[in-house]
Structure formats: structure tokens, C-alpha cells
């Protein structure tokens, strides 16, 4: 294994997983484990593999099963975990995923999103649920007059799009993460809608909305944009986009088709438009790690793809994420946090009073000056990515990867991509064919707004 230059303790998920499967295959006493996780609309994600027989190495069995379940939850989402094939694994997972358990954060997050308590259920092989998927066929609708709406943490970008051409685009300042009043959010969103309508001659055919957060049926069930809104008012947050579209429909005198999608998925959709191909995974390395995916049929999957919380390093002593209280998760490897955590190992001293974003800029400035430690930071992140892409391929069918976000600005992005591709070629040649690159100038400039505007099918 090629170790990251600044992280000798890194234990890539794919390497640890393959090592486990290899050891199990050599053992005379093994059993078959089936994991199925149910999410919205009766959809089920299912994986199965051999593990050691109960009583042989229960600790390792449980560790691998728990890491795999955690991955599925943050790739796909789910509220009910079914386990068949090991009573020991079942008992341990049930103890982890409960209030106050090891995975208390995950339990409460999933319970909130799906509006029901998370469960862990033991099954026989014969009655564990079968796989069921409902890919979401949205996007690619460019006919007529459309609004593309992108809600960010500091501004709303609204675009007026006619037959796939952006005729107007504007950024409207808003500070959602500082506002407690739900009416502030409603009015700012509605104001942005009206800007688009006015530039389309007073009427529209469809609205596409790109937003941060976990979405179910056009509702942001969890979103950092509305973090200050009191819990008592959060029911109104869930319907903020639905009600704003309803208000505009009533004003214009006709129903307006609309779709609300995760901003990561819209980025991937914009990449698919730009590449004129599908099977696109978009990875944004910014404040955190944001990911979106368009499958090989050009569909959005309806999956969470919240890979900031997906384990990528199986070293139990790796850095713990402050929010989820778990170790080795993506946000510590593919965001500005990854740069900050490597400062000491790179022998870089930066004013501790700077914000995280300012610290990132300071490291990028050192990189431009040829600082060896700064180069090693971005080389380390590139190695992380090279080892993580094969693990992502366990869950996604990938032809193209678009890497973007402030961490990839300047020379740092070039180093990340170069090191990633080199790692894949040397260590995982079976994945070296994956096209990995940065977004084009077109995608940066207008691709996101066109992709957002294309989400909903018009009724004309």
C-alpha cells in the first residue's frame, strides 16, 4: 500500500474491507450475512457477504458490519436495518443504533428525516426484504420559460432560462444561517422567484430548486440553511419551497411544476450536461464534503449521498468529526478540515485566531510560494481520494468524477488530481479508466443554473 505522505496511520476502507473478505475466505468456519436497509416509499438497499461464524471473531465481524451499515445509511438513507445470518452482529448493531448508543447521532438524524424511530430487526434468510429502487427521472427538461434557483449559505442565485439558454442571472444576498424568523426565509425565496418571473415576461413554465440538505418529497428534512429556526417552527421549514411555489402559482393563476433537489445532485447533473454523458459523481471539497450523483441512465437516484459522514478511514484512532462523533468520516479528508488537520504534520504554523476558510487561504498562499509542507498536504488529500474512489465504486457505478470546491482552487487542485490518478493507476488499475477532472468554465458560469432550471417537467 502507498501511504499518504503525511498520514502513515491511514487505513483505507477498501483495503480493510478486502483484507477482511480475504481472511474470511480462508477460514473453515464462516456464515453468510445479509444486510437490508429500508428507506422512503418502500425502497430497500441490500448487501450480502460472508463473515466469520459467530464465536470465531465477533469483534471484527461487528466492526466491518457496522462500518458497512454506516456507509449504506449515508449513501442511501434509511430508517430500518434488517440483519440476517448473525445473531451476534444483530445484537451489537441494535445496541449501537439506539438513543444513547454508539451511533446516537445517526439514529436521531435518520429518525428525524424519515419521521419515525429508527429500528434494527433480525430476520431469517427467507424473509429479509428484497432490493427495491425507484430512480428519480428528473432533469434534462429545457423547453419553455424556466427559473433555476440555487440556495447557498450566503446568497441565492436565481436564473431565468428560456429553452436551455440563460438570459439573466442574479445573486441575491441572504444570511439564512443567522436568521431565526421563518418569515425571513419565505420572503427571500419568494423575492428570488419574482426576480426570475419578471425577467421572463411575467409568467413561467417550471421551477427547479437546488438546495443544501436532505430532501424527502421536495421537503428539506434536515438543512444547515435553516439551522437557527426554532424546532417549534421547523414544520414550516419543511414546506418552505412547496409553499413559496404554491403562493406564486396562485398569483400567476396556474399550477407551476417544480422539483427540489440536493445541490450536490444538481452539480452532478450539470456535469452530465457538460460532459454529454452519465455516470457522474460530483465531489465538492469546501466547508465540508458535498457529493451528488447521476446514474448511467441519466437519473438521480433519490439517495442521500451525504458522504461527509461516510467512513473512509478504518483507523479507530483517526480524527473524530465534531458533529457526528465518529472517526474517519469523509468531511475530515475531503474538505478544508482535511487541510487544517494536516498543518502540524506539514510543519506549518498559522495564526490560530484565523477562521478555517482563512487558514485554508493561508496554506494555498504558501503553496503558491512553493512551500514543501503545503505541497505535501494536497498530495496527502490526493492519496486519500485515490484510495477512496474504489470504495465509492462499491456503491456507485462511476464513469466520471468532477472535483470542485475551494480546497481545489489553484495549484492544490492540480496536485490533488495528479496524485489521485497516480494512486489509482498504481494501486487500483481496474479503476484507472475513470475520468477525473475539474468543472469546465461553462459549468462554473451557467451550468448549475441551467441544470437546476431543467429539473421539473413542464405541463405544456
Q: What is the pLDDT of residue 443?
A: 76
Arithmetic mean of pLDDT over the chain: 94
Q: What is the pTM of this model?
A: 0.91
Task: Kindly tell me if the per-residue pLDDT of 36 is higher than 80.
Answer: yes
Q: Tell me if 449 sits within 8 A of 203, measured CB to CB.
A: no
> Per-residue confidence at 184, pLDDT binned at 50, 70, 90?
very high
> Which of 271, 336, 339, 331 lies closest to 307, judged by CA?
331
Closest among 335, 331, 330 to 408, alpha carbons compared: 335
Lowest-confidence pick of 157-166, 329-338, 364-373: 157-166
For residue 95, pLDDT beyond 90: yes
Please give the share of the chain, as a percent, with pLDDT higher than 90: 80
Q: What is the Cα–Cα distance from 363 to 432, expressed in whole angstroms?
A: 29
Give the pLDDT of residue 186: 95
Cα 338 from chain centroid (whole Å): 16
Band of the pLDDT at 88, cuts 50, 70, 90?
very high
Report the DSSP pairing between strands 145-151 and 155-162: antiparallel
- What is the C-alpha to C-alpha distance for residues 117 and 380, in angstroms, rounded to an integer? 39
Mean pLDDT over 147-172 rounds to 89
Q: Are strands 400-404 and 280-285 parallel, antiparallel or unpaired?
A: parallel
Mean pLDDT of 304-332: 96
| 263-314 pLDDT tens trace | 889 989 989 988 999 999 999 998 889 999 999 988 888 899 999 999 999 9
Of the candidates 451, 82, 124, the residue with the CA atom closest to the CA atom of residue 300: 451
Strand pairing report for 400-404 and 435-437: parallel
Each domain of the chain, given as residue ranges in start order, spans: 13-123, 145-265, 266-447
Non-local (6+) Cβ contacts of 23 within 8 A are: none
Average pLDDT for 248-261: 95
Query: Nearest-CA neighbor of 402 among 433, 443, 357?
Result: 443
Give the pLDDT of residue 208: 95
CA torsion sign, 263 to 200 to 191 to 171? positive
What does residue 123 show for φ and ψ, rounded to 5 degrees?
A: -130, 165
SS3 42: helix
The burial of 297, by beta-carbon neighbours within 10 Å (0-12 exposed, 13-18 middle, 19 or more buried), is given as exposed
Q: Is the model's pLDDT at 175 over the cut of 90?
A: no
pLDDT digits (tens, 9 = 90+) for 114-135: 999 999 999 999 999 999 988 7
Give the whole-angstrom CA distance, residue 105 versus residue 66: 14
pLDDT score at 140: 83
Q: DSSP characters for 330-374?
A: GGGTSSHHHHHHTTTTTT----TTS-HHHHHHHHHHHHHTT-HHH
Helix (H) or strand (E) run with residue 112 in it: helix 104-114
Over 90: is that where the pLDDT of 450 sits?
A: no
pLDDT at res. 250: 97
Helix or strand or coil: residue 4?
coil
- pLDDT band of 417, cuts 50, 70, 90: very high
H helix or E strand, kind and range, residue 83: strand 80-84
Q: Using CA atoms, how far apart are residues 309 and 289, in angstroms rounded to an integer?
A: 9
Burial 248-264 (b: 16+ CB within 10 A, else e): bbeeeeeebbbbbbbbb
DSSP three-state, residue 398: coil
Q: What is the pLDDT of residues 52-73, one digit of tens each?
A: 999 999 999 999 999 999 999 9
C-alpha cell at position 195: 426576480
How does residue 357 score in pLDDT terms, banded at 50, 70 and 90?
Answer: confident
- The count of C-alpha atoms lying within 13 angstroms of the C-alpha of 212, restricted to the half-sphere facing its C-beta, is 18
Does 8 score more than 80 pLDDT?
yes
Distance CA 185, CA 243 (A): 12
Among candidate residues 358, 357, 334, 359, the one with its CA nearest the CA of residue 348:
359
Q: What is the crossing angle of helices 58-75 and 13-25, to 10°?
A: 140
Least confident of 140-149, 214-223, 300-309, 440-449: 440-449
Q: Would you state the pLDDT for residue 433?
A: 95
Between CA 81 and CA 91 the distance in angstroms is 12
Kindly tell me if the per-residue pLDDT of 91 is higher than 80: yes
**Taking the CB of residue 229, how many other CB atoms lie within 10 A of it?**
20
Provide the CATH topology of domain 145-265: Nucleotidyltransferase; domain 5 (3.30.420)
Task: Please say whether the structural domain 266-447 has been given the CATH code 3.40.50.510.
Answer: no
User: In the predicted model, what is the mean pLDDT of residues 100-110?
Assistant: 97
Look-up: residue for cell 438497499? 45
Q: How confident is the model at residue 446 (pLDDT cuts 50, 70, 90)?
A: low
Instruction: Report residue 72 CA to chain centroid gap.
Output: 12
Confidence at residue 325, expressed as pLDDT on a 0 to 100 scale: 95
> At 178, phi and psi to the nearest 5?
-110, -5
pLDDT for position 174: 87
Q: Do the strands 145-151 and 206-211 form a parallel or antiparallel pair, or are they unpaired? A: parallel
With beta carbons less than 8 A apart as the criterion, state whether 438 and 404 touch. yes
pLDDT tier at 108 (50, 70, 90 boundaries)?
A: very high
Amino acid at each position: 500500500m502507498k501511504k499518504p505522505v503525511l498520514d502513515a496511520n491511514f487505513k483505507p476502507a477498501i483495503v480493510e474491507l478486502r483484507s477482511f473478505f480475504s481472511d474470511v475466505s480462508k477460514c473453515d468456519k464462516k456464515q453468510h450475512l445479509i444486510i437490508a436497509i429500508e428507506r422512503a416509499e418502500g425502497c430497500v438497499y441490500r448487501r450480502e457477504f460472508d463473515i466469520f461464524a459467530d464465536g470465531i471473531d465477533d469483534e471484527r465481524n461487528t466492526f466491518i458490519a457496522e462500518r458497512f451499515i454506516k456507509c449504506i445509511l449515508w449513501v442511501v438513507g434509511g430508517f430500518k436495518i434488517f440483519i440476517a445470518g448473525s445473531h451476534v452482529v444483530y445484537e451489537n448493531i441494535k445496541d449501537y443504533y439506539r438513543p444513547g448508543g454508539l451511533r446516537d447521532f445517526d439514529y436521531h438524524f435518520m429518525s428525524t428525516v424519515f419521521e419515525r424511530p429508527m429500528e434494527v430487526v433480525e430476520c431469517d434468510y427467507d424473509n429479509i426484504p428484497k432490493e427495491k429502487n425507484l430512480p428519480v427521472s428528473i432533469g434534462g427538461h429545457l423547453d419553455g420559460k424556466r427559473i433555476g434557483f440555487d440556495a447557498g449559505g450566503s446568497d441565492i442565485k436565481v436564473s431565468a432560462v428560456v429553452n436551455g439558454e440563460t438570459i439573466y442571472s442574479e445573486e441575491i444576498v441572504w444570511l439564512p444561517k443567522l436568521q431565526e424568523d421563518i418569515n425571513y426565509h419565505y420572503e427571500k425565496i419568494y423575492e428570488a422567484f419574482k426576480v426570475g418571473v419578471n425577467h421572463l415576461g411575467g409568467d413561467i413554465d417550471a421551477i427547479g430548486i437546488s438546495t443544501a440538505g436532505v430532501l424527502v418529497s421536495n421537503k428539506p428534512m434536515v438543512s444547515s440553511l435553516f439551522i437557527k429556526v426554532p424546532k417549534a417552527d421547523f414544520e414550516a421549514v419543511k414546506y418552505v419551497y412547496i409553499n413559496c411555489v404554491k403562493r406564486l402559482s396562485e398569483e400567476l393563476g396556474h399550477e407551476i411544476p417544480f422539483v427540489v433537489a440536493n445541490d450536490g445532485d444538481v452539480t452532478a447533473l450539470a456535469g452530465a450536461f457538460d460532459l454529454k454523458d452519465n455516470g457522474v459523481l460530483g465531489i465538492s471539497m469546501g466547508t465540508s464534503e458535498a457529493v451528488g450523483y447521476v446514474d448511467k441512465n441519466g437519473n438521480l437516484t433519490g439517495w442521500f449521498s451525504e458522504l461527509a459522514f461516510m467512513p473512509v478511514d478504518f483507523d479507530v484512532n483517526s480524527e473524530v468529526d465534531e458533529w457526528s462523533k465518529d472517526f474517519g468520516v469523509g468531511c475530515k479528508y475531503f474538505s478544508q478540515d482535511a487541510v487544517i488537520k494536516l498543518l502540524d504534520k506539514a510543519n506549518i504554523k498559522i495564526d490560530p485566531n484565523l477562521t478555517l476558510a482563512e487558514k485554508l487561504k493561508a496554506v494555498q498562499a504558501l503553496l503558491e510560494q512553493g512551500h514543501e509542507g503545503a505541497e505535501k498536504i494536497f498530495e496527502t488529500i490526493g492519496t486519500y481520494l485515490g484510495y477512496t474512489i474504489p470504495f465509492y465504486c462499491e456503491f456507485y457505478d462511476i464513469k466520471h468524477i468532477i472535483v470542485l470546491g475551494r480546497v481545489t482552487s489553484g495549484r492544490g487542485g492540480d496536485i490533488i488530481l495528479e496524485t489521485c490518478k497516480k494512486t489509482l493507476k498504481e494501486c487500483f488499475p481496474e479503476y484507472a479508466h475513470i475520468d477525473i477532472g475539474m468543472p469546465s468554465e461553462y459549468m462554473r458560469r451557467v451550468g448549475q443554473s441551467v441544470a437546476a432550471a431543467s429539473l421539473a417537467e413542464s405541463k405544456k
